[in-house]
Structures are given as C-alpha cells and as structure tokens.
Amino acid sequence: MIRLEAAMPTARFTRLIGVPERSYRRWQSRQRAELPVKGPWPTPSADRIEPTAISYADRYPQWGSRTIATLMRIDGHHAPDSTVYRALKRTGRVLEVNYQAKRRQHAEARRAAFVVPPTGPNQVWQLDFTEFETRMGGTWRVGGIADYWSKMELGYHVATTANHRDAIETVELALTETRRLLGRSLLDLVTDRETGELRPVALVTDNGPCFKSVRFAAFVDRHPELIHIRTKRKSPGQNGVRERAFGSLKYEHLYRHEIDDGHQLGLEVELYRQLFNTIRPHQSLAGRRPLDVHLEASLTPPTPKLNEPKTLPLS
C-alpha cells in the first residue's frame, strides 16, 4: 500500500526496505493467489510420531507434552520433546499454559527441614494430610507418606478425620509397604549389619495437632527406626515433596472424576498411587519412575548419610 501510494517502482521499494526483490515478488505472487506468504513447511518427523503421541496423550490426558515424550522414549520410541510438542499442539492436546503453572521451587526452603540432603531412599519421609470433598459423601482427609529422595508414594490413608490415630495408621501403612517391597522391615534396612549402628528415617511433618499429640510421639518412640522432625510454622515448602505429590493426585486424577463417597475415593487414590509409582515418569528423577529408583537404590549398599543437626523441634 505504501509503495502504491508513493507510485514507487518495486525495485526501488525493495532497496529502501532492505528486502531482496526476488523474495518480495515471490511473496507478492503468493498473496495474489491467496496463498500463505510462507509455508506450510513439510513436517515428516511430526507426521511420523503424531499417531503414537496422540494415543499416549489420550491415555494420559493429565500429563504435559514433556512427560508424554519421556514416557514414549522409555517405551522405545524416538520422541524428541519438541517434536512431540508440535504433534500434540496441532491436534489440540497440549495442556494450557496456566495448567498447574505454580510449580514451586522448594529447594531453598527444604534445606531448613534437613541440613544434610538425603543420598538415597528411606532416609527422609514426608507425612501430611489433605482434604477432598466428595459429591455426596462429605469431606474426607487423605493422609500420605512420600519418600523425599525417590518420590515413592508409600501409602494413602482415607478417613473422615485427621487425628493422631489416622497419622499412626498412615505411618503403619508405609512400614507395611516397605516390608512388602523389600522383603525386610524398615528397622532391618536402617541398621548396619556390621556395626549395628542405627540410622533412623527422618519423618518430616508440619505442626498439626495430630503430629504434636502425646500418643503420636509415643508411637514414634516405640519405633527406633523413626525420628520425628516438625517443620517451622507456616512453612509448607519444607514439606515440599509431600505437598507437590498431593497436588499431582488432585489435579491429575481426583479433579478429573466424579467421586461420590469415601469408599470410591479410597479406590481412586490407590489407583493413582500405582500409576504414580509404576508408570508416571518424573522430571526430577531424569525421566524414571519412583518404584524403579526406590528399588534399585534400596537393594544396593547405602551411602551413609551424616547425622542431622537437631535444629528443629523433635517430638
């Protein structure tokens, strides 16, 4: 339009704007033919991978393109992140930008909960409760323990309350699951067979009444394989792995289903726990699954973890 109004020749106009005349004339001819000025370019890689990526995305619609790509690579497909993203984007299967946008970075906050970082599984467990309102059965509390290092979910306890009894039952679920997975009790795992030295698991919780109760403290005292550490007040980031996993449980599974009552809620949380531990790849674990990481590290000689400074209140 500017060139026509100025009655300027095409050659002079292209020199003024710094565009090769041949390129300008090619764009001009495509515009007159009502074709896109550029593209569409051939996409053989995306075309090849699109059916497989769609099948994975439809099977796990709660996961983003990077997680889908990682899962495809685990299963033996050649699936670069960018190619999977383009294939899913053009079919409308990429999650919205603000989907779980608040991916908290807890590294700095966690250091206050334990000064010496864990070097393997069964060194730090994180315990907490979360609430979920069912359609017809009221509000229920879900208690869970996650291994800080392997991200392994060791069991969910569903009840209408979140008192010391529920906290104790949640810990007992984790102890039972540990014995089932490894064929040994947690006490045997954390005891050095040569020296007899005991390296107890740090059970990290917040300052809820159930965790400050005398009966919960007595339960921990009866288990020498455990030591209870409470985080600072109003510092949920110190229990970050547990809080993050609860977010995944809700946004990736529970909020996507109509759950009528506590019985159905118990079935759904256990179904997701199996999915989370055995199928879902984790970016923080280099694309591996928690169960694989947990078992591999638990069955190899442990790397000693230095004693934890007693900088936090102990129950």
What are the sequence ranges of the domains in the chain? 1-33, 44-93, 124-299
Cβ(204)–Cβ(112) below 8 Å: no
pLDDT at 13 over 50: yes
The reported pLDDT for the residue numbered 109 is: 38
The helix (run of H) or strand (run of E) holding residue 305 is: none
Mean of pLDDT values over 35-45: 78
How many whole angstroms from its chain centre is CA 205? 19
- Residues listed for the chain: 315
Chain mean pLDDT for the chain: 85
Sequence-separated (6 or more) residues with CB below 8 Å from residue 74: 281, 287
* Count of beta carbons in the 10 Å neighbourhood of residue 240: 21
- pLDDT band per the 50, 70, 90 thresholds, residue 110: very low
pLDDT for residue 6: 67
Condensed to tens digits (0 to 9), the pLDDT of residues 80-98 reads 999 999 999 988 888 765 5
- Entry pTM: 0.71
Summarised one tens digit per residue, pLDDT across range 55-82 is 999 999 888 899 999 999 999 999 999 9
pLDDT for res 9 = 83
What mean pLDDT do residues 203-229 have?
A: 93
Q: What is the mean pLDDT of residues 134-138?
A: 88
What is the distance between the alpha carbons of residues 283 and 276, in angstroms, rounded to a whole number? 13
Q: Is the pLDDT of residue 256 over 50?
A: yes
Q: State how far the Cα of 102 lies from the Cα of 68, in Å rounded to an integer.
A: 20
Inform me whether the pLDDT recorded for 309 exceeds 80. Answer: no
Q: Which residues are paired to 127 by β-bridges?
A: 145
Whether residue 205 contacts residue 128, with contact meaning beta carbons closer than 8 Å, is answered with yes
Percent of the chain with pLDDT over 70: 85
How many CB atoms within 10 Å of residue 223?
A: 17
Rg over alpha carbons for the chain, rounded to the nearest Å, is 27
Class of domain 124-299: alpha beta
DSSP string, 129-145: EEEEE-SSS-EEEEEEE
Question: Is residue 179's pLDDT more than 50?
Answer: yes
Higher pLDDT, 36 or 145: 145
Is the separation of the CB atoms in 102 and 243 below 8 Å?
A: no
